Structure 1
Amino acid sequence: MSNPPVFALIDCNSFYASCERVFRPDLAKTPIVVLSNNDGCVIARSYDAKPFIKMGEPYFQIKQKLKQHGIVPFSSNYALYGDMSERVMTLIESMVPAVEIYSIDEAFADLTGIGGLDELGRQIRAQVLRCTGIPVGVGIANTKTLAKLANHTAKRLQAQTGGVVNITDPIKRDWVLRNTDVSEVWGVGRKMKLHLDTMGIKTAMDLAKADPWTLRKKFSVVIEKTARELAGTSCLELDEPDPPKQEICCSRMFGKRLTDLAPIKEAVATYMMRASEKLRAQNSLCKKVRVCIRTGMFNPDEAKYANGVVVDMPYPTDDVRLLTKAAVDALDHIYRPGFKYSKAEVMLLNLCQPGEYTDDLFAVSQPAEAARVMTVLDQINERWGRGTLRSASVPTNPEWGMRREMMSQSYTTKLDQLWSVACK
C-alpha cells in the first residue's frame, strides 16, 4: 500500500519587507511598506504596518499617515528581492525531494513518505532564517489546498504554532477547517465567497462537506477540486517546470514624461537588454520584435497617442545587438513629435528553440561567433552583477529611469553596494 501524499507550503512572511529588514537590523521592530514602480502605491507591508495601511493605497495620499505611525517606506528593489528569493528556494530544494516554486516568495514541497514532519518543518524554517534572514511559515497537509490553509494558520497563530502547522492528523485538520473563514481558502475570491454565502457555506469546513458535484454544476471544476482537497482527497500534484515562454515582454513607465526621441531610444535599448537576458535564460531564439510607445491615458490635459510596430528579424536570434538595433530603428516609424510619452514596451515574439525551425537552404542563420559573445556577456553579468557589461546604447543612470527615491542598496548584486560593518 502506497503512502498517502503529503505536501508542504513554505511561504516567506511579508517577503519584500523582510528582504529590506535583512540588511537593516535597526528596522527589526519598525513597520515597513514597499511601493510600486515610480513610488506609486503600496504593494507590500510588514505585519506591524498592516493595521494602519491598506494594500494599494497611493503613496502621495498616505505620506502623513506613514509619519504619524512611524512607518518607513521603501521603493521597490526587485534585484534584491529576486536574489533573496533564489537563495531561499535553493535552500528549500536542498532539504526536500521535490519542489514546485509557486511564486517569488512561496514554494510547495513533496514530503510523501518522509517521517518526522513537524521536525522537518522546523528545520526548514530555522535553516532559511539562519542562512538568509527571511522568516517563513510552513504548512503541512495531505493536499496542496490544505497545506495552503495550514500555512495560513501557522502565520495567523505564530505565537502558538512557532510558524509550523501540520494538519495531516484529521483532528487537527478539522479544527483548522472549522476555525477558518471560507474566504481564506486558496482560490476562493470575494465574488465566490458571496455565492457560497447564499448556500450557507461560511467556513472551510462547510466547503469541505459540500457536495462536489453540485459545486461543479453551479460553479466550476476548480471549486469542485477545492472542496475535494479540503476533504482530504488530493487532486493537485506538484507542477512540472514551466515550458519555455512563447512571448517575452519588458515594459516600464518612465520616471518622467519624455518628448524627445533620443531618451525613448535609450529606454527601449534598456528594456531590450533585459528581455534578451530572459530569452537566453530559456535557451530560445526570437523571430519577431514588437515595439510600442504611448502617452499617459488618464490626464485630460495631455494629448493622447499610442502606436506599435512589428519587425521581422533576418534570422532567429538571441543577439542583443541585433535585437536592439531592430527595436531602436523601429521607433523612427512610430514616434511622433509633440506628445509627452509615459511608457515604452518591447515584446519578443515567435520564439523557438535552436533546431526547432527549418532553415531555408540559402537562408542566413545566426553566426556561431554571436552565440559565443552572448555567452560571455551573460557569464560576466552573472558573476559581477547585471549591467556590468551592456550595450553601448544603455545608459547607467538615465534621467528617464523609474522614480525610486527610497530604494535600498543592491546589497547582494552589486560589489560597490555590499553591506559594510563598522568596527568600534
Structure 2
Amino acid sequence: MYAIIDCNSFFASCERAFNPELMDKPLAILSNNDGCVISRSSEAKALGIPMGAPLFKYKQVIAEKNIQVRSSNYSLYGDMSERVMKLLEKFSPEVEVYSIDEAFLKLPTSNDYQTLGHTIKTYIYQCTGIPVSVGIAPTKALSKAANNIAKKFPKKTNGYHVIDTEEKRIKMLQWLPVQDIWGIGRGNTKRLQNKGAQTAYEFTQLKDDWVKRNMSIVGLRLKKDLEGEPTIQLEDEVQNKKAIATTRSFEFTFSDKENMKERIATFASRCAEKLRMQDSSCNIVMVYLRSDRNKKNESQYRASKVITLPYATDSTLTINQFAQKALYEIFKPGIKYKRAGVILMGLIKTNALQLDLFKNEDPKHKQLMNAMDVLNEKYGGRKIKMANQDLQRTWKMRQAHLSPEYTTKFSDIITLNCDTI
C-alpha cells in the first residue's frame, strides 16, 4: 500500500504552529516583496480571497474582514518541511519527498490501515503542530485521490481516508472528475472530455491502445494505477535539474550599476551552490534584466545575454565573472530595474567533465568552493560570500509582515517567562 501525506495550508500552518493567536483566524501568506497571496488558510478561502490575489487590490477587503497577513518566511517553512519528512521515516524507510508539503510513503503490510492513517496524522501534529491529510491506497494515483477525499471531507474522514476494497475504488473513481486526477494535465483533460470521459472511472474504461496512442505511455501508466495496478513507483532519487535559475524582484527599483552588480553576484552565487548540490557543472550562463512593467510612465526595458563558457564549471567565482560580463553588456543607464535573474544551462555531471588541453578550471577553485559550502552549511545564513555581495542581506525583498524565524535563528527562538512559586 502507498500513502501520501499532504500538509494542510502548509505555510499558514507553520505560522500558526508558533503563534496560537492565529488559530481559527483567516490568514493569508504573501509572495516575495509582499506582492500577492500564495497561501491561504481555510478561513481566508471562505472569505473569498483567491490564490494569487494582488495585495494592493484586496487591502480594503483584508482590513474589513480582519484577515491576518504574513510575509513569506521560507527559512521557517523549509525547516518545518524537513522536520515533517524526517518524522515520516518512522512509518516507512521508503519516503519520496514530492514537494515542500507532500510526501509519498510505501507502507509495510498492515492489518489496519485506518488506524495507521490516524496514527500518522496524530503523530505529525503532536511533534510539529502541522495538520496533515493522509490518503492510503494500493497505488500512488489512488492514494492521491484518497487524499483528495480526506481534504474535501475532513469531518467525515477525520483527515485520513483508505481505499482498501474494490467497492471503495470504484466509488472514488466515479466521484473524481478527470481534471482532478493526479498528473493528468490540461491537454489530456480536454482530450478525455472530448472522448466523453468526464470522470476517472470513465477514463479507466477506455481501451489501452487509445490511451497509449493519445496520451503516451505515461497516460497508460496512470490508467493502470487508477485500475489498482501499481505502475507508478516511488522515485529512487530526486532527478537533477536541466537548468538552474535564481530570479527575484527587488525591494525597490535600482538604476545604478553597483546595486545591479551586487544582485547579479548574489544570484550567481546561489545558482552555483545549487549546481554543486547536484554534482553538476554548467556550460552556459544567462543573465536577464527587467524594468517595472507596472509603472507605465517609466521607460520600459527588457534584455538578456547568453554567454557560452570556455569550459564547464561549478565555481562561484567563475560563474559570477561571466555573469558580470553579461550584465555589463546589457545594462542600460537611466532605467529603473525591478527584476533580474541568472540562469545556468548546458548542465553535465561534474565527474564526467571533458578536460581541455589549454582551458580548464583553476584547481584551487574546487578546494575553495568545498570550504565555502562546508562553512555555510555548518554556520548557516551563507556567512561566506564574495566581496561584491552584500554582507548583511542576501535577499533584498519587501517583507513588511515577516514573522520571526523561530527554528533557524537563535535571536528568534521563543522564550518563556516562568514564575517561581
Could you state the TM-score of these two structures normalised by the residue count of structure 2?
Answer: 0.89
* 2:299 alignment counterpart: 303
Moved more, 126-135 or 37-46: 126-135
Query: In the aligned structure 1, how far is the partner of 2:182 from the partner of 2:359?
Result: 51
Q: Does structure 2 conserve the Cα–Cα contact (< 8 Å) formed by 1:263 and 1:400?
A: no
CA distances 1:181-210 after superposition (whole Å, capped 9, x unpaired)? 443322345675566555554443333334
What SS does the corresponding residue of 2:372 show, helix, strand or coil?
Answer: helix
RMSD after superposition: 2.7
Is 1:241–2:240 an aligned residue pair?
A: no
Answer whether contact 1:256 1:400 (CA < 8 A) is retained.
no
The residue that corresponds to 1:73 in the other structure is: 69
Residue of structure 1 in register with 2:272 after alignment: 276
Match of 1:22 among 17, 26, 32: 17
CA shift digits 1:256-313 (9 cap, x unpaired): 2211101111111111221122122112233442222222346442323232334455
How much has 1:59 moved relative to structure 2? 0.9
- Please state how far the C-alpha of 1:39 moved relative to its aligned partner: 1.4
Shift of 1:173: 2.2
Tell me what 1:3 maps to: none
Out of 126, 146, 161, the position equivalent to 1:130 is 126
Tell me the CA shift for residue 17 of structure 1. Answer: 0.9
Alpha-carbon distance change, 261 to 182 in structure 1, aligned in 2, over 3 angstroms: same
Which stretches in structure 2 are left out of the alignment for 5+ residues? Answer: none
1:256-267 aligned at under 5 Å gives the runs 256-267=252-263
Q: Within the alignment, does 1:416 sit opposite 2:384 as a pair?
A: no
Which residue identity lines up with residue 57 of structure 1 in the other structure?
A
SS in 1 for 2:300: coil
Decide which moves more: 183-192 or 336-345: 183-192
Change (3 A) 1:239 1:316: same
Pairing partner for 2:387 from 373, 392, 397:
392
Determine helix, strand or coil for the equivalent of 1:355: helix
Superposition map of 1:138-217 within 5 A = 138-188=134-184, 196-197=192-193, 200-217=196-213
Find the aligned partners of 2:413 and 2:375 in 1 and give their Cα distance.
18
Task: Output aligned runs, 1:78-93, within 5 Å.
Answer: 78-93=74-89
1:394 partner letter: Q
* Aligned counterparts of 2:267 and 2:391: Cα–Cα separation in 1: 13
Question: Contact (CA 8 Å) 2:406, 2:412: kept in 1 or not?
Answer: yes
Number of residue-to-residue matches in the alignment: 418
Distance in 2 separating the partners of 1:198 and 1:247: 35
Identity value in percent: 39
One-letter amino acid matched to 2:375: I
- 1:40-91 Cα deviation digits (max 9, x unpaired): 2111111221112111111111112122222111111222212211111122
**Contact 2:266–2:394, Cα closer than 8 Å, also in 1:** no
Q: Which moved more, 1:325-334 or 1:130-139?
A: 325-334
**For residues 8-47 of structure 1, what are the structure 2 equivalents within 5 Å?**
8-47=3-42
Q: Which residue of 2 aligns with 1:252?
A: 248
Partners of 1:374 and 1:194 lie apart in 2 by 49
Q: What SS does the aligned partner of 2:350 have?
A: coil
Q: Measure how far apart 1:125 and its partner are.
A: 2.0
Q: Deviation digits for residues 369-400 of structure 1, max 9, x if unmatched?
A: x3333333223322332223322322255699
CA contact (8 A) 1:411 1:418 kept: yes
**8 Å contact from structure 1 (residues 9, 108) kept in 2:** yes
Alpha carbons of 1:324 and 1:417: their partners in 2 closer, same or farther (altered >3 Å)? farther
Alpha-carbon shift at residue 7 of structure 1 (Å): 1.3
Equivalent position amino acid for 1:388 in 2: K
Structure 1 pair 223–356 and aligned structure 2 pair: CA distance change class (3 A)? closer
**Contact residue 183 and residue 193 of structure 1 kept, 8 A:** yes
Equivalent AA in structure 1 for residue 88 of structure 2: I
Deviations along 1:91-117, one digit per CA (max 9) or x if unpaired, are 213421312211111111112645433
Whole-angstrom CA distance in 1 between matches of 2:177 and 2:280: 45
Query: TM-score scaled to structure 1, two decimals?
Result: 0.89
- 2:232 is paired with a residue whose SS is coil
1:329-367 deviation digits (Å, cap 9, x = unpaired): 432222111211121111223333333123234544332
- Which residue of structure 1 lines up, in the alignment, with residue 396 of structure 2? 401
Specify the SS of the correspondent of 2:66: coil
Unaligned runs of 5+ in 1: 1-5
Structure 2 CA distance, aligned partners of 1:410 and 1:228? 44
Distance 2:228 2:168 in 1: 12
Q: Deviations over 1:108-166 (max 9, x none)?
A: 11126454333332232222222222111111111211100101111122222222211
- What letter is aligned with 1:410? E
CA distance in 2, matches of 1:268, 1:300: 25
Q: Distance in 2 between matches of 1:275 and 1:236?
A: 31
Contact 2:37 2:51 in 1 (8 A): yes
Measure how far apart 1:405 and its partner are: 1.1
